[in-house]
Homo-oligomer: A and B are copies of this chain.
Amino acid sequence: MSASPSKNTVRVGVIGTGRIGRIHTTNLMRRIEGATVAAVADPFVDNAREWLDPLGVPEIHKDYKAVLGNPEVDAVYVCSSTDTHAQIVEEAAAAGKHIFCEKPIDLDVAKVRGALEKVERAGVTMMVGFNRRFDHNYAALQAAVAAGEVGQVHLVKITSRDPQPPPIDYVKVSGGLFLDMTIHDFDMARFLSGSEVTAVSAAGTVLVSNEIGAAGDIDTAVITLWFENGAIGVIDNSRQAVYGYDQRAEVFGSKGMVRTENDTETRVIRTTAEGPRSDKPLWFFLERYAEAYARESEAFVRALREGTTPPTTGADGLAPMLIGGAARKSLEEKRVVTIAEVS
């Protein structure tokens, strides 16, 4: 593997060596068959030396342009800060690199559309990182729905609660709860229902942190979705579940229901005079979705090697942004907003 990439190996350049860049670099070097990291780049790459050096990545740069300029690099992972995604995606497309881009592509729909257009024109493959689709639980739900186990889909319910709010400085540039956090759930709603969202109604409020409210954002929300196939969806969000990352979903239909509980560290039950106690959900996304990140990269690498369309495309990156825009408009105008209105 990493030792001697064969001709068929996908040589990746990772742009951004923060938390997510680290996950992808490590997975690509250690776990993903048929891929290797040929180069990484980050202005602050020196902060990453501790975990990066033992991995033996051949090239380490401060400037991502060095990665894009490397003819050995087949594909790039765009893991830099959100405000740089669109620009890098466009440059990578122009350089003929395939692209794996972390969500969101940009907070501005017009910029997203611009970037996707350039990707399409360049004819490179692009995948947007909706890691949760690769979670064993959600993937099994989707497979069950697709196999007809619940019959016609009637209701899709998604619970997504973070264990703690992000730093307020992050909140301020995050694009707001709907584009930063719920965007994953909008994608999940499309994934599980197998259908497009046509309209949205949102309720949102500030119950977790006044600081978040002062920043003009909300921290608690319930969003109702109308799907093209007639089903109704509902998402509930909180920025703070004291018991850990709460990631559950349920699909109900004419033939039954499939749902998933949270993953836990163990299956141990501790029963004392106070009663039975089981494990909390895994703490946060790094723990819950560790495997999902690996499977996500496997899917991208496989698509590149087999010349197929990856499971999530640029269009899949745009769709939840539109839903998020409609949700924000609904929150402001206290009414159902159609996706058509914001497209």
- By a beta-carbon cutoff of 8 Å, the part of chain A in contact with chain B is 1-4, 30-31, 33, 54-56, 136-137, 140-141, 144, 149, 152, 154-155, 157, 161, 201, 203-205, 207-208, 220-222, 224, 226, 230-234, 236, 238, 240-243, 246, 252, 254-263, 265-280, 334-336
Contacts and interface: CB of A to CB of B under 8 A. Distances in A.
Report which residue of A30, A157, A207, A240 has the largest number of chain B beta carbons within 10 angstroms of its beta carbon. A207
Contacts of A33: 54
B273 A268 contact: no
A270 B258 contact: yes
B266 A243 contact: no
A312 to B, nearest CB: 20
Contacts of A31: 30
B280 A256 contact: no
- A55, A226, A269: most-surrounded residue (chain B CB, <10 A): A269
Contacts of A280: 271, 273-276
18 contacts: A1-B56, A2-B3, A4-B56, A137-B267, A137-B268, A154-B207, A154-B208, A203-B224, A205-B230, A220-B232, A221-B232, A234-B236, A243-B256, A256-B271, A260-B268, A261-B269, A262-B267, A335-B335
One complex includes copies of this chain to the number of 4
Contacts of A254: 207-208, 240, 242
Which 3 pairs across A and B sit closest by C-beta, in order of nearness? A3-B56, A256-B272, A335-B335
B273 A276 contact: no
Contacts of A232: 203-205, 220-222, 236
Contact of A277 (B2, B140, B262, B276): B276
Nearest to A237: B155
A126 to B, nearest CB: 28
A54 B31 CA distance: 12
A3 to B, nearest CB: 4
Contacts of A275: 243, 277-280
A295 B308 CA distance: 37
Nearest to A338: B334
Nearest to A221: B232
Contacts of A136: 265-266
A8 to B, nearest CB: 12
Contacts of A256: 242-243, 270-273
Given A275-B243, A336-B335, A222 B155 contact: yes
